[in-house]
Chains A and B, each alone.
Chain A
Amino acid sequence: MIELQNVHKTYRRPTGEAVKALDGVSLHIARGELVAIAGASGSGKSTLMNILGLLDRPGEGSYRFSGEDVAHLDVNEQARVRNERIGFVFQTFHLLPRTSALENVELPLVYSDRHSIGGLGRKALEAVGLGDRMHHTPAELSGGQQQRVAIARALVNEPDLLLADEPTGNLDPRAARDVMAIFQELNRSGRTIVIVTHDAEMAAHCNRIARIENGCIVSDEPVEAPKRTLQETA
């Protein structure tokens, strides 16, 4: 599903100094995998995440998504791919303030070409166990609940790929385990999920861990016995 071939990305600091964020990364992820991309900050994992999510372009190398060369699509076509086929979950949730959970979840639908969007937001919220919090605003929800709203938002358009950037970074341990349990459950029902994290414990919940250091993948191996957490409803 994801075929990243020898991807390089170099940034130029305002001082003019060039920084190699990715230095020849190749990564293949098949449909239905639950992969952790683990690395310290500054290792290049955020850049990798941006490229996987079509928020940034590789400097060199190729990126095929479901067999399609997406690295060279124009910006509007990339926006469409993001809208229809990729769901994002962020460390800081990025929920719209003063906006109900339901409306937050429906945000991707605002930009979709779908004719009717009725009921999709409700369905996605129910899928993450927040059917009874639909009209709460983010300020009225706990951190774990906010992240679940964000996951519902990522799911609302039935994407092929779920990309999560440090999804548990702002959560207390219990809420973090809940969120990982949701990812595992979504994965069991067939969803492809890539989680970027620096947290070894969270990475251990995945089926495969790719470690990145200084812009290179240094190890990439399956996890023998992924950590399981009984999902507790918060």
Chain B
Amino acid sequence: MKTTRMFRHSVRTLGRYKLRSAFMMLGTFLGIASLTIVVSVGKGAERKMLATIRQLFGTSSILVMARGTQFMGGPRADAARLTMDDIAAIAAELPQIEVWDPQQAIPDEPVRRGDAATTARVLGQSERFQRAWDRGVTRGESFDASAVNASARVAMIGETVARRLFGAQDPIGGEVLIGSVPFRVIGVLQPFGTDLHGMDRDNEIVVPISTLMRRVMNVDTIAAAKLIVNDRASVAANAAELRKILRERHAIPAGRPDDFTLLTAVQIQKTLAKVRRVLFLYLPLVAGVVLLVGAIVAAALMLSAVSERVGEIGLRRAVGARAGDIRLQFLIETAITTLIGGAAGVIAGYAGAQMLATRFHLGEVFSWPAVLLGLALSIATGLLAGVVPARRAAALQPADALR
């Protein structure tokens, strides 16, 4: 009974000092909001990264990318010298390479079907595309080696392309123009969604690499290749071998930089670890500092409230409040303000996180641990901020306080 009365009384007291209560809430609000944003977005980003990496990269892949030598500050396209033969030679020399798939690409190519037109990323791949990239078709079929050998004009299209060009119709067997070259649609790619760069990976068309190189782009180099090593532990060794072979084949003298880039799962893991450190250490640390500042502000406001309310404290003691009751009242007051600020912070933080997540295609970011952490931290902030003022208030001698 008595505790309920004291609790109700404290809540009403807070309502009487709205501005001060609001400022006390503000600190916790900002701290918890930033913490919630950081943690939620961090979790979402991490999940997205891991999924993308797993999907694209597996754990034992080597990615070789052609790199044009720099000329007058810009890349020289014709200096890219990675060829199909290079990759074939590597695969022949390194027995641990299980699968390899070359790639050529046009980032934005006009695609048409009758009146319907759009632009899409067009990828040229080998018949090993599905194995190497772990992405098959949901309808129709993939092309095989004979299609690649014959530079057949067949295409697998992504869901977005299918929707834009065919609407509700079945695209299988339909004809599309990539640039000015007609292709027959033989399959619809498994949906992927958006990747880390926010790119819609369903707005893609995969065609045989030979067809793309000869009939669409008229080039004899490839952009990249993915090679999968059959043993995770030997990825680094194979990558080193690969580099040696490529430098030899490209006749790069010692001391000159590579004209290609190698990327392995190990390197990606290292980058990921760096990103994780930012996501889960530095950013929460910054948010934590904000929260700490909020706690200090709350404590300072409460302390000044104690000196402002000396007479009130004396009166309360005179009418029968024990030192413990006074301490409890001040603790309740700070705890409630910071809890309200914290709860608002969680809501705002979550809303902010959801906005960022939508903007950067991170999917669902709501996480109960983040919410509970936010609320727990705001209560902790309140208790921390309330302890010193509450003690000071309780330590006042009633006779002195009434003077």
Contact = CB atoms under 8 A, between A and B. Distances in A.
Tell me if chain B binds chain A: yes
B323 A88 contact: no
A94 B325 contact: no
A53 B16 contact: no
Contact of A98 (B1, B6, B9, B16): B16
Contacts of B320: 79-80, 82-84, 108, 111-112, 157
A134 to B, nearest CB: 15
Nearest to B18: A98
A223 interface: no
A103 B312 CA distance: 14
A55 B398 contact: yes
Interface in A87-112: 88, 90, 92, 94, 96-99, 103, 107-112
Given A94-B315, A103-B12, A117 B399 contact: no
Interface in A113-133: 113-117
Contacts of B5: 109-110, 117
Contact of A96 (B312, B321, B323): B312
Contacts of A83: 319-321
B6 A75 contact: no
Contacts of A112: 2, 320
Interface residues on B, range: 20 to 34
B167 to A, nearest CB: 66
Nearest to B314: A94
Given A94-B314, A113-B2, A153 B399 contact: no
A76 interface: yes
Nearest to B10: A110
B9 A75 contact: no
Interface of B is mostly: helix
B326 to A, nearest CB: 10
B10 to A, nearest CB: 10
Nearest to A85: B320
Interface residues of A, number: 33
Contacts of A84: 320
A95 to B, nearest CB: 8
A88 B318 contact: yes
Nearest to B2: A113
Task: Point out which of B13, B315, B398 has the most chain A C-beta atoms below 10 A from its C-beta.
Answer: B315
A97 B16 CA distance: 8
B311 interface: yes
A79 B16 contact: no
A23 interface: no
A33 interface: no
Interface in B315-372: 315-325
A208 to B, nearest CB: 24
A50 interface: yes
A107 B324 CA distance: 16
A111 B319 contact: yes
A115 B2 CA distance: 8
A112 B1 CA distance: 10
B99 to A, nearest CB: 76
A75 B397 CA distance: 11
B319 A75 contact: no
Interface string B1-42: 110011001001100100000000000000000000000000
B402 interface: yes
Interface of A: 50, 53, 55-56, 75-76, 79-80, 82-84, 88, 90, 92, 94, 96-99, 103, 107-117, 153, 157
Given A94-B311, A94-B318, A109-B5, 18 more contacts: A55-B402, A56-B399, A76-B322, A80-B320, A83-B320, A83-B321, A84-B320, A90-B315, A90-B402, A96-B312, A96-B315, A103-B12, A110-B2, A111-B316, A112-B320, A113-B2, A115-B1, A157-B320
17 contacts: A55-B318, A55-B398, A76-B323, A76-B324, A79-B322, A82-B318, A88-B315, A88-B319, A94-B318, A107-B319, A109-B5, A110-B5, A111-B2, A111-B316, A111-B322, A111-B325, A112-B2
